[in-house]
Amino acid sequence: MKKIIILFFITGLFSLTAKAQIWKEYSSFYRSVGVQLGTRGIGIEGSYPLNEQFNLRLGGSIFPSMKMKYRQQKFKLNRSDISLFGDWQPLYGRDSWIARKWIVSAGAGYFFENKLTRYKPETQVSNEPKDYELEWSKFRPYVGTGLNGIAISRQLNLSVNLGYYIPTSSYKLKTYDMGSAEVADLENKIESLKYSIAQSLNVQVGISYIFFKNSYHK
């Protein structure tokens, strides 16, 4: 009887040790492909881990080309890009949930289109006259952070990313029938910190399908 109890004790202890080891070495990176939704629009992204701590992501996004109304003004955003990111899991090997999900990212994106058009207010004609066109730099280095590997099911993961595309050149502004005072006021708004952050901010949520996943952790 004592031998059976000791055997159960050793087996249980080994199981707990093995489970702790699995959690400790858990990486948030897997080979995957998924869809993304965020400030860059909708897109597709693939992920390929280099090892347990480092990962590569390649994706492309496009913002649906449609007019939007805000404060009695009509806007149209044309944006599409391809981006490459390198991810690092700084706390890999620790047991906490945040350590197994938190990543830091760096990379770059190239925007094929990155332009905002505002139309003159209160116009009802089909070919609405433009107020101004604002175009931002196309090639942009990127820095960010996020949470990766949040399990929805055995093969589906959720990711959340927050980052900043760093401008590499000044904006281009083209105005239509605007006075010098209006242009000066507009340029002050464009160059403000709030406006600069808003046009470069990347907020992205993704759901990805994982290939060759042998374990399931939430």
- Is 6 inside a domain boundary? no
Average pLDDT rounded to a whole number, residues 119-144: 84
Strand partners, 165: 142
Give the residues across from 78 on adjacent strands: 115
Total domains, the chain: 1
Judged against a pLDDT cut of 50, whether residue 174 lies above it is answered with yes
Express each pLDDT in 59-108 by its tens digit.
999 998 878 777 777 889 999 999 999 999 999 988 899 999 999 999 99
Q: Is residue 54 part of a domain?
A: yes
Element (H, E) at 126: none
Whether 10 is in a domain gets the answer: no
The C-alpha atoms of residue 124 and residue 19 are separated, in whole angstroms, by 66
Q: Domain span at residue 89?
A: 29-210
User: Which pLDDT score, from 0 to 100, does residue 109 have?
Assistant: 97
Strands (E), 120-200: 130-135, 139-151, 156-165, 172-175
DSSP letter at 149 equals E
At 55, list the tokens: 């990962």
Residue 193 lies in a domain: yes
| Per-residue pLDDT at 34 exceeds 80 | yes
Q: What's the CATH code of the domain at 203?
A: 2.40.160.170
Residues 6+ apart with CB under 8 A from 107: 57, 83, 84, 85, 86, 141, 142
> Which pLDDT belongs to residue 86?
97
pLDDT of the residue at 214: 53
Q: Is the pTM of this model over 0.85?
A: no
**pLDDT score recorded for residue 213:** 61
Mean pLDDT, to the nearest integer, of 132-141?
94
Q: Are strands 73-88 and 102-119 parallel, antiparallel or unpaired?
A: antiparallel
Which stretch of 14-28, 45-59, 186-200 has the lowest confidence by average pLDDT? 14-28
Q: Percentage of the chain surpassing pLDDT 70?
A: 83
Domain membership flag for residue 45: yes
Does 122 or 159 have the greater pLDDT score?
159
Tell me the CA distances in angstroms from 34 to 57, 150, 190, one per residue in order: 11, 13, 34
By the 8 A CB rule, do 60 and 40 touch?
Answer: no
Residue 164 within any structural domain of the chain: yes
Average model confidence (pLDDT) for the chain? Answer: 84
Q: Is 182 a member of any domain?
A: yes
* Orientation angle between helical segments 193-200 and 180-190, nearest 10 degrees: 60
- Interacting residues of 184 by C-beta distance below 8 A, sequence separation 6+: none
SS3 state at 74: strand
| C-beta of residue 41 within 8 angstroms of C-beta of residue 64 | yes
Residue whose entry in the numeric block shows the structure tokens 């009802």: 124
Residue 217: inside a domain: no
